[in-house]
Structure 1
Amino acid sequence: MALAAKTTIDVLRAIGEDTRFRIALLLHHGELTVSDLTDILGQSQPRISRHLKLLTEAGVVEKHREGTWAFFDLVTTGPIADVVGAAIDTVDPDDPVLAADLDRLALVRNQRAATAQEYFAAIAERWDEERSLHAPDDVVEAAIVEALAERPYHSVLDMGTGTGRMLQLLIGDRLDVRAIGLDNSHSMLGVARANLERAEVHGVDLRQGDVYSPPVEPGFDLVVVHQVLHFLHDPARAVHEARRLLNPGGRLLIVDFAPHALEFLRTDHAHRRLGFRDDTIVGWLEQSGLRPDEPCRIEPQHGATNPDDERLVVTLWLAHDRAAAPTTDSPTDAVPEGALR
């Protein structure tokens, strides 16, 4: 779709100022806050906010909130993105001003990563205890990749993204996938953001929000709910919301535990539900209008121990939109190359 002449002029005028163009160049490398930009550019918060307001009004920049924080990112699709991208592509990567800004961007990201690591270190022992009770992560992840290899996807929503690991696994270095990670915890989004930056996974939109009322519009080929339902007081409602966000022909993948009797996970790890029976999850999926595949059970490896000598079985439930005919697309781009390496 072509732009009206006035819109094109407005876009060019918005980025045609020194600070605003520097902001666009920085946002080309990932989302940032006002505070990040003031640290990088050495300008006052009111001035940076005013520039961001102009860029947002021109459609060059998108804004989303995480509680009291606001993150800004370049628009990534459509003709305005094409105009801005063309301007950015003309810049010499060795430009001294750009190079200095990117050096300061690296410092900001390192500080962000350190903060996220400090938070995660405080909960790591609890996570490690739980992970020791089920099959190794690489085994579970291999099963996820295999389950999704049937056909490609070009838009992904990770509901309850946590550390962002599912986005790393499913997106990798693909640039043709629109990806959103949703989590209710600002601190966990900080962990996810640092992990994705470290893994050089670009273009992911991380948002703070509730799985019962996701702050996104429908339109996803794949929605993932990985190790989330057991924390929820109304998991059926979360499944219904996940299904609502699918494209026609989309798929919903739920990963969680089979029923178990490890009560300490409820008292010490905030699990509300001690796993789920297959007929429970399948019932929710069918009630939401989806066609479930046969569940995939991943048994724990021998040797894991816990106070009751019981281990956790991880189950994958994959379901498809009933209204869609099976695709004939090649499955070769269903998962990123090298996802299992």
Structure 2
Amino acid sequence: MADLEQLVGALKAAGEDTRLRLLALLADGDHSVKDLTEILKQSQPRVSRHLKLLADAGLIERNAEGAWAYYGPAQEGEGAALARWLVRRLDPDDPDRRRDIERQNDVRAGQQARAAEYFARVADGWDLLKRLHVPEEAVEAAVVAALGGRKVDTLIDLGTGTGRMLEVLREFYGRGIGIDSSREMLAVARARLASAGIANAQVRLGDIGDVDLNAGPADVIVIHQVMHYFDDPGRMLAQARRLLKPGGDMVIVDFAPHDLEFLRTDHAHRRLGLSEAQMSAWAGAAGLFVAERHEFPSAREGGLTVCLWRLSDKTANG
């Protein structure tokens, strides 16, 4: 139990209209200060001050990423439990809450539109672009190894892009499904699969941040260089979890934390890499655990390190 002083401090921090609205928004997923100023229609200094009070009270967490910072709900401790208790008691029909949700949806739609515009622009040279900053051959070999040599009935590649993972893993699935929100990327993927003679894989247009459950369930889900395009990768991971069969695995490839801001400004990245602690927390919240993790440093000076995580189903593994 929290001592009296801590509890009073947490209640004081939460006991204000804007801060309660912030707690509710962050319970829906991580946000940057910029996002929250757009949603609440308040100034950046005012929103930052409210966030600091909530973070100091242990109700939310701050994760710095380069020049930006993302805020999300606290995962552990009395503050986390209190925040969850308070949010559950908010009236979903409250006018301010409804308006915040509408604006939050607008902000997310705008982010997705900007990402889609970027992908349409780079679709033809996407594979070359990836090779410029990641050790792709080693990563692909590790993705194959993560499957342990077994062939599964259904493999889903979320954010399939040009369909490269469906091609690399062609021998390891009976049925492959690639899902992406970019029509231009999918056009490249269809041409690639046809050229490679891969008849047991199909690609479809879909929102991987709000998955269509009719696509699953899958024995294996691959999420290759996708999560850093989301403001809230944990929310995306929780969505993907809904497609996974009991006892299934996820294979995730993404960047380790870095400070290359140009990837955010020029290449639509929203997160500057994913840390080991973040992935473990997101996996745990989705009922998964990190079964293995590997790092692949770039051979170039100042290059990026790529990480591979294999996440397994907690319930099937005790």
> Which TM class, normalised by the smaller chain length?
0.5 to 0.7
Answer yes or no: is 1:319 the counterpart of 2:311: yes
CA contact (8 A) 1:155 1:220 kept: yes
Q: Does 1:286 align with 2:284?
A: yes
Pairwise CA distance, 1:323: 2.0
Whether the aligned pair in 2 keeps the contact of 1:224 and 1:253 (CA below 8 Å) is yes
Alignment partner of 2:220: what SS? strand
Deviation at 1:281, TM superposition (A): 0.9
Within a 5 Å distance, the mapping from 1:172-191 to structure 2 comes to 172=171, 177-191=174-188
User: C-alpha distance in 1, partners of 2:154/2:168?
Assistant: 14
Question: How far apart are 1:325 and its partner, in Å?
Answer: 4.8
1: CA distance, partners of 2:125 / 2:165: 21
Per the alignment, residue 266 of structure 2 pairs with 268
CA contact (8 A) 2:123 2:185 kept: no
- The CA deviation at 1:291 is 2.1
Greater Cα offset, 313-322 or 289-298: 289-298
1:216/1:321 CA distance change after superposition, 3 Å: same
TM-score of the superposition, structure 2-length normalised? 0.58
In the other structure, the counterpart of 1:192 is 189
Following TM superposition, by how much is the alpha carbon of 1:249 offset from its aligned partner in structure 2, in angstroms?
0.7
The residue identity in structure 1 corresponding to 2:306 is V
> What's the TM-score once normalised by structure 1's chain length?
0.54
Q: Distance in 1 between matches of 2:134 and 2:250?
A: 22
Task: Report 1:15-94 matches (<5 A).
Answer: none
Note the C-alpha offset of 1:201. 0.7
Between the two proteins, the alignment pairs up a number of residues equal to 199
Indicate which of 302, 305, 308 corresponds to 1:310.
302
Question: What's the RMSD between the two structures over aligned residues?
Answer: 2.2
User: Looking at both structures, which has the greater relative contact order when contacts are Cα pairs under 8 Å and sequence separation is at least 6?
Assistant: 1
Any stretches of 5+ residues in structure 1 without a counterpart?
A: 1-118, 327-341
Larger radius of gyration: 1
Residue deviations 1:235-275, cap 9 Å, x none? 11110011111111100111000001111111111111110
Provide the rounded CA distance (Å) in 1 between the counterparts of 2:272 and 2:245. Answer: 31
What is the aligned partner in structure 1 of residue 144 from structure 2? Answer: 145
Matched residue type, 2:286: S
Q: Relative to 1, partners in 2 of residues 1:123 and 1:220: Cα closer, same or farther, differing over 3 Å?
A: closer
Q: C-alpha separation between the residues in 2 aligned to 1:205 and 1:252?
A: 19
Deviations 1:251-305 (A, max 9, x none): 011100000111111111111111010110111011110121131111112xx3x
Q: Structure 1 residue 134: deviation in Å?
A: 2.2
Question: Tell me, which stretches of 5 or more residues in structure 2 are unaligned?
Answer: 1-118
For 2:302 and 2:208, how far apart are their aligned partners in 1? 30
> In the superposition, relative to structure 1, how do residues 325 and 258 fare at CA in structure 2: closer, same or farther (>3 Å)?
closer
Alignment map for 1:147-226 (pairs within 5 Å): 147-149=146-148, 151-172=150-171, 177-217=174-214, 218-226=216-224
- What is the percent sequence identity of the aligned residues? 42
Distance 2:120 2:193 in 1: 15
Letter in 2 for 1:160: G
* Distance in structure 1 (CA, Å) of the matches to 2:242 and 2:281: 16
> Structure 1 130/265 Cα, relative in aligned 2: closer, same or farther at 3 Å?
farther
Q: What aligned pairs does 1:244-255 form with structure 2 within 5 A after superposition?
A: 244-255=242-253
Q: What's the counterpart of residue 257 of structure 1?
A: 255
CA separation in 2, counterparts of 1:322 and 1:250?
A: 10
**Cα separation, partners in 2 of 1:125 and 1:156, compared to 1, 3 Å:** closer
CA–CA separation in structure 2 for the residues paired with 1:124 and 1:186: 12
SS in 2 for 1:295: strand
Q: Which residue of 2 aligns with 1:230?
A: 228
User: Partner of 1:9 in structure 2?
Assistant: none
